[in-house]
């Protein structure tokens, strides 16, 4: 069987490193054609030496010489810059592109990969948040499959396999509730960066961990679910499930609910996206039913965690509003990680940015670029 050649965009992040572990565990099935990183050149060099891809790209051009020098004795092409990342995905040998870059930066290479008719394993949720309508139409036009890697969307996808045209009543996305699920508004006003970076169940990068703590991550997943599964806003529900064993559920018109369960381990959805429709043997931890004896569910508190409410509003308004939401969020999360704004202030800045930014009802690619720049400028001015 021919090996599947992969391009892993964002190989030094949490998803990217675990994807490379999946490749290492299945050397007869996969090989790495290209890997990319934004800043972490040291880890990128290590990965390149281990996996020997055809091409390695660092987005930060100032680190190009260091990367090139470190790999000069290996038959690896070395490039730098965002444009090179968008170009490498078009390479003829590539079968699948894993988009695991963080934030808006994932949009352009994802579009390029779709237009090059590459299968997409989508871990960059911002791509569908920002430009879901454009991405969906391009995928249909190019007959390009988009396979979800987020654990929640992978769970929904797995629940839908084999259901044919059976009508779905509701998609139920589960949320852990993050580290501050039971905290009061007064406590949330004093949250520190160190506290926010300690997620109770998942090991993730800094940006997505903060998004999880504010529930913006769940808001983005709601918007993403709309585009992945052709769902209306009222057909997508969020339920807080602190144990994080049920990854998401689907309710059908006969009242049946299917759920996908498993330990909190991102290698399972990564592997499933790579191997679909097959399932591969895995050494990942199994659910221990002697210890997993309680499943609890709560409704999300939209007063304490306003970002989830903003996401629903952006989805209902449509146009470039989700793009505004994402850009403002990227600015405030960066500011919070640099300890330049408070935990609750992040939501206030996002809300004001959504009010102030120019609205475009039917945006094209250039509108998304302009909106992203404008929203970032407004959010920065509000810090």
Confidence of residue 157 (pLDDT cuts 50, 70, 90): very high
The reply to whether 172 and 204 lie within a common domain is yes
The 3-state DSSP class for residue 255 equals coil
pLDDT, tens only, 212-236:
999 999 999 999 999 999 999 999 9
The two counts, helices (H) then strands (E), for the chain are: 16, 11
Distance CA 383, CA 380 (A): 5
User: Are the beta carbons of 330 and 376 closer than 8 angstroms?
Assistant: yes
Burial class for 221, CB neighbours closer than 10 Å (0-12, 13-18, 19+): buried
pLDDT in tens, 229-270: 999 999 999 999 999 999 999 999 999 999 999 998 899 999
- Closest-CA residue to 169 (of 231, 227, 219, 218): 231
To 10 degrees, the CA torsion angle through 331, 337, 342, 347? 40
Runs of H (alpha helix) within 229-292 = 267-275
* % of the chain residues with pLDDT over 90: 90
The CATH number for 329's domain is 1.10.1740.10
Q: Which of 96, 127, 148 delimits the end of a domain? A: 148
Query: Does residue 65 lie in a domain region?
Result: yes
Domains held by the chain: number: 3
pTM above 0.85, yes or no: yes
Q: Are residues 191 and 138 in the same domain?
A: no
Residue 305 has pLDDT above 70, yes or no: yes
- pLDDT bucket at 200, cuts 50 / 70 / 90: low
Q: By C-alpha distance, which of 119, 141, 114 is closest to 30?
A: 119
Q: Which helix (H) or strand (E) holds 78?
A: strand 77-80
- CB count in 10 Å sphere of residue 308: 24
Give the 3-state secondary structure of residue 61. helix
Same domain, 123 and 161: no
pLDDT confidence tier of residue 380, bands split at 50, 70 and 90: very high
Q: Give me the mean pLDDT over the 289-293 stretch.
A: 91
55 with 167, same domain: the answer is no
Range of the structural domain that residue 379 is part of:
318-383
Inside any domain, residue 231? yes
**Cα(12)–Cα(43) distance, rounded to whole angstroms?**
6
* Cis peptide leading into residue 191 (ω within 30°): no
């Amino acid at each position: 069987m021919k090996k599947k050649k992969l391009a892993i965009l964002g190989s030094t992040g949490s998803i990217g490193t675990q994807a490379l572990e999946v490749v290492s565990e299945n050397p007869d099935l996969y090989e790495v054609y290209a890997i990319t990183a934004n800043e972490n050149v040291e880890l990128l060099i290590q990965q390149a030496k281990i996996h020997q891809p055809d091409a390695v790209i660092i987005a930060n051009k100032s680190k190009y010489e260091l990367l090139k020098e470190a790999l000069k004795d290996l038959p690896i092409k070395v490039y730098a810059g965002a444009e090179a990342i968008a170009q490498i995905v078009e390479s003829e040998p590539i079968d699948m592109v894993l988009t695991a870059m963080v934030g808006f930066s994932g949009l352009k290479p994802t579009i390029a990969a779709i237009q090059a008719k590459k299968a997409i394993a989508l871990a960059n949720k911002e791509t569908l948040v920002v430009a879901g309508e454009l991405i969906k139409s391009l995928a249909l036009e190019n007959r390009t499959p988009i396979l979800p890697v987020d654990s929640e969307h992978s769970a929904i996808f797995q629940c839908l396999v084999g259901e044919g045209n059976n009508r779905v009543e509701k998609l139920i996305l589960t949320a852990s509730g993050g580290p501050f699920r039971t905290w009061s508004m007064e406590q949330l006003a004093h949250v520190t960066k160190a506290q926010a970076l300690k997620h109770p169940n998942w090991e993730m990068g800094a940006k997505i961990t903060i998004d999880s703590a504010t529930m913006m991550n769940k808001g983005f997943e709601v918007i993403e679910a709309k585009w992945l599964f052709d769902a209306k806003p009222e057909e997508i529900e969020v339920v807080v499930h602190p144990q994080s064993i049920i990854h998401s559920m689907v309710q059908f018109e006969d009242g049946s609910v299917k759920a996908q369960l498993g330990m909190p381990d991102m290698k399972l959805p990564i592997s499933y996206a790579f191997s679909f429709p097959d399932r591969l043997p895995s050494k990942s931890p199994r659910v221990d039913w002697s210890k997993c004896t309680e499943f609890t569910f709560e409704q999300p508190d939209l007063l304490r965690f306003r970002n989830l409410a903003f996401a629903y509003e952006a989805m209902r308004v449509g146009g470039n509003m989700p793009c505004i939401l994402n850009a403002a969020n990227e600015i405030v999360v960066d500011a919070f990680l640099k300890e330049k704004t408070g935990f609750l202030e992040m939501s206030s800045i996002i809300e004001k940015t959504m009010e102030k930014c120019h609205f475009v009802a039917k945006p094209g690619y250039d509108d998304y670029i302009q909106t992203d720049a404008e929203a970032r400028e407004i959010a920065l001015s509000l810090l």
